[in-house]
């Protein structure tokens, strides 16, 4: 019981620190880990941060000053490159593979793998999905809840499921 009391006290202390510093509440795992240390552990660029609950698979490279929000999936099965000063909002999923052919062929065909690249200065809105093989150009904006299955040019704006003019 003493350990439980100490743990609760630690959690409360950390919650108050986070609230004072960032005015937010985060999960216990994010209270006990540092986003910048997590990014450093994965070899991401200087001053990048990555929430502890991000799923990171395979070969993922991230540039400097990039923010990776909570509940993100970064699939580097086929190599995922993310540039500098990128903002990846909560719930974003970025893929480099799919298993459509494998599933529909009852395992006779292999999964489809293609590299994906996110340029510098890109904003990706919450809960967006970027499919395998897509290249997002520098300073592009991806709106919230977008499904991106084709390349987005530099300075492009992509909302929903199409590029905006």
Q: Going residue by residue through the chain, which has 165 residues, state the pLDDT in tens, using 9 for 90 and above.
A: 899 999 999 999 999 998 998 898 888 888 888 899 999 999 999 999 999 999 999 999 999 999 999 999 999 999 999 999 999 999 999 999 999 999 999 999 999 999 999 999 999 999 999 999 999 999 999 999 999 999 999 999 999 877 776
The 3-state DSSP class for residue 57 equals strand
User: Domain check: are 22 and 88 in the same one?
Assistant: no
Domain at 69, CATH number: 2.160.10.10
Q: pLDDT tens digits for 17-50?
A: 989 988 988 888 888 888 999 999 999 999 999 9
Q: Does residue 148 lie in a domain region? A: yes
Domain of 151 in residue numbering reads as: 34-159
pTM: predicted TM-score of the whole model, two decimal places? 0.89
Q: How far apart are the first and last CA of the chain?
A: 62
b/e per residue 23-45 (b: at least 16 CB within 10 A): eeebeeebbebebeebbbeeebb
Q: What is the domain count for the chain?
A: 2
Radius of gyration (Cα) for the chain, nearest Å? Answer: 18
Q: Does residue 165 lie in a domain region? A: no
Q: Does residue 75 lie in a domain region? A: yes
User: Domain check: are 40 and 6 in the same one?
Assistant: no
């Amino acid at each position: 019981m003493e350990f439980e009391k100490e743990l609760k006290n630690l959690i409360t202390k950390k919650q108050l620190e986070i609230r004072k510093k960032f005015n937010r509440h985060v999960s216990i795992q994010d209270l006990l880990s540092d986003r910048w240390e997590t990014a450093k552990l994965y070899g991401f660029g200087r001053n990048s941060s990555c929430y502890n609950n991000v799923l990171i698979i395979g070969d993922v490279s991230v540039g400097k000053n990039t923010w990776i929000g909570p509940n993100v999936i970064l699939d580097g099965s086929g190599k995922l490159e993310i540039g500098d000063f990128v903002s990846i909002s909560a719930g974003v999923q970025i893929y480099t593979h799919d298993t459509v052919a494998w599933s529909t062929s009852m395992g006779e065909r292999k999964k489809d793998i293609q590299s994906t690249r996110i340029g510098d200065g890109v904003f990706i809105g919450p809960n967006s999905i970027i499919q395998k093989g897509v290249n997002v150009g520098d300073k592009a904006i991806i709106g919230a809840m977008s499904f991106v299955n084709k390349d987005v040019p530099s300075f492009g704006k992509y909302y929903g499921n199409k590029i905006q003019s």
